[in-house]
Amino acid sequence: MAAMAVVTSSSSPAYVAKQPPPPPPGIHHNKTAGYQSYNGHNHMYPPTATTTTTTTTYYWEERRALDGIVLALRAAAALLSFVAVALVASCRHGDWMEFARYQEYRYLLGASLVACLYSAAQAFRSLRRMRAAASTSGSGILHFAGDQVVAYLLITAASAALPITIRMRSAVINIFTDAMVAAISLAFAAFAALAFSAIISGFRISAAAAAAQPY
């Protein structure tokens, strides 16, 4: 049995472990690489000067575009309100065709005048700010609130003057009722312009608040 065991042991070849082949040239294994916790930075692709410059350029382009839209909306609101004021104030044709006899038309005149002055002042400020490239972070809430208040005045004044104008036009259609219809329509259009301006102001406030919060 011992002889048989020797023969069996000698007949089986011995196993020799072979070393793995070397890696091709140009490939190096990082033996120290392991799990790295994420801390908000990409270690493999760190931010470069080109990425930062592109982000800054995009920010300033978006800001100039929004400033231009707000300037156009406020200028349009000022122009529309001015024409509405002129139309209401010109309705002095005597007897019942006097705008001062109706509180609805007096309210429409006052609201349109306030909207004209406010929108013209804000458009002038927006133009100066765009030329000076100044920041709007400090006055964003004031612009947002001012646009909403003036837009509310316009929509309430136009809504109050509309029913009495419809009743007048059901009886007679003349230069007085035509002028009032045009003034009411312009007040509604000025309201829409200021409402869009308030939406943009609210978007800017939300974006600034989100950017200031740490993650």
Answer whether residue 167 shows pLDDT above 80. Answer: yes
Q: Which residue has the higher pLDDT, 196 or 143?
A: 196
Residue with token string 């829409």: 192
Q: Is 181 in a helix, a strand, or coil?
A: helix
The model's pTM is 0.68
Q: What is the mean pLDDT of the chain?
A: 79
pLDDT at res. 126: 85
pLDDT at res. 206: 82
pLDDT at res. 175: 93
- Given a contact cutoff of 8 angstroms between Cβ atoms, the answer to whether 157 and 107 are in contact is yes
Which element (helix H / strand E) includes 203?
helix 175-212
pLDDT at res. 131: 77
Quick: pLDDT tens for 101-150. Answer: 999 999 999 999 999 999 999 999 888 887 776 555 556 788 889 999 99
Least confident of 53-62, 142-151, 178-187: 53-62
Question: What is the distance between the terminal CA atoms of the chain, rounded to a whole angstrom?
Answer: 77
According to DSSP, residue 92 is labeled B
Residue with token string 């490239």: 133
